[in-house]
Structure 1
Amino acid sequence: MMFVSPRHPVLRVLRALVFATVCVVISAGGHAFAGGGSVPPGVLGAGALVAMVLAYALSGHEPRMEVLLTTSIGTQALLHELFARTATSGAEHLAHGTHPDHGHLGIGMALVHLVIGTISGWWLHRGEVAIWLLLRLLAMGPVTVLRRLLGGATPVTTPVQQVSPIAGARAYRGRREIASAIHRRGPPVSFLAG
């Protein structure tokens, strides 16, 4: 197996590329859907590069959910600002004498980016968990994986029994020792005075 470790640079680049693609496609699609116009390819590339560098920096270890959610939401806000400032619709709005309102991150737009960033961050986290699990399983080898899948996760071994002498131990002498060790439970028996 060529890429055994999730920390391998090529695998980190691939994972960062997936993160950047998800963030840029969702943000550019949402930008165009909200009436912001099309984003120039150079700006899409710049946004993807920024998201990819950020994701590569975070991909050295297995990311926690809150880290991916924060990164995804922050990347969505950053891409929104980048796309809003460079979209082709800005020139059209200025030609018509109107001011583009899309460039401002208002309450509604912030809420949309928060929801989309949360969903994509959760989805990316699930993918990361799956990749790390898959690579751990591949590192174990096929025989170990099959053994675990078939229910024999750990070999059953019998414990080694050793007799250790106790200092001052006496041999068993009969019924009296057992009788004195028995304790009765319950309320005390009342005796009538007569």
Structure 2
Amino acid sequence: MSPREPSLRLVRAAAFAVACVVVSVGGHAFAGGEPVPGWAMGAGVLGALLMAYAVNRSERGAEVVLASTVAAQVVLHQLFAWSAPAPALPGHGHRLGMFVVHLVTAALTGWWLYRGERAVWLMLRLWAMGSLAAFRWLLTALRGQFPPPRAAVPVGVCDYFTGWEIASAVCRRGPPAVFHAG
């Protein structure tokens, strides 16, 4: 499965668009107290969907996801402010509150979407590795060409890992020793 797969790109873009719009509508209503019309939410989802579909040709880093989320929040703020049925409250405090809410929303949503995308790609890679191994085993079984069995390790031989990952490995062969109490 490739990141360029159109159906997968559409699912990722839809998740991005819905997350951005739902969180933005909630934050906008919370900070401004104004309901957002349904047509504006639909236009926001469509705009965010198109932008995300254009950007997500491959797995993106945190900076791209965060920048896209901030851009989506700025556009959504303008759209929702323009479409509000009641005029926005005058004053800089209200605008500053909206700006802070959208910025915090963009940061949290961007990080959440970035980590979610990383998790999805990790699961897909792990699934592909397992299914490829099973496919190779099936082909080998169908051909009747099995690899030679591995030789048993002699009792006194133990390979220690000398890398930095496992610097102090303990080698014990066989079942644990039995100790009797008392």
| TM score, norm. by length of structure 2 | 0.67
Deviations 1:125-166 (A, max 9, x none): 001101111111222234749xxxxxxxxxxx9xxxxxxxxx
CA distance in 2, matches of 1:105, 1:57: 33
Aligned residue in 1 for 2:64: 67
Aligned residue in 2 for 1:123: 112
Match of 2:124 among 126, 129, 135: 135
Percent of matched pairs sharing the same residue: 48
Report the residue type matching 1:23 in the other structure.
Answer: C
Aligned residue in 2 for 1:7: 4
Identify unmatched segments of 5+ residues in structure 2: 135-149, 151-182
CA distance in 2, matches of 1:123, 1:71: 13
Q: Is the 8 A contact 2:66 2:111 kept in 1?
A: yes
> RMSD between aligned alpha carbons?
2.5
Match of 1:21 among 18, 23, 36: 18
1:100: how far off?
Answer: 3.1
Q: Is the 8 A contact 2:32 2:94 kept in 1?
A: no
Aligned residue in 1 for 2:44: 47
Report the number of matched residues: 136
Report the residue type matching 1:134 in the other structure.
Answer: M
Aligned residue in 1 for 2:102: 113
1:107: how far off?
Answer: 3.0
CA distance in 2, matches of 1:44, 1:102: 25
CA distance in 1, matches of 2:30, 2:119: 31
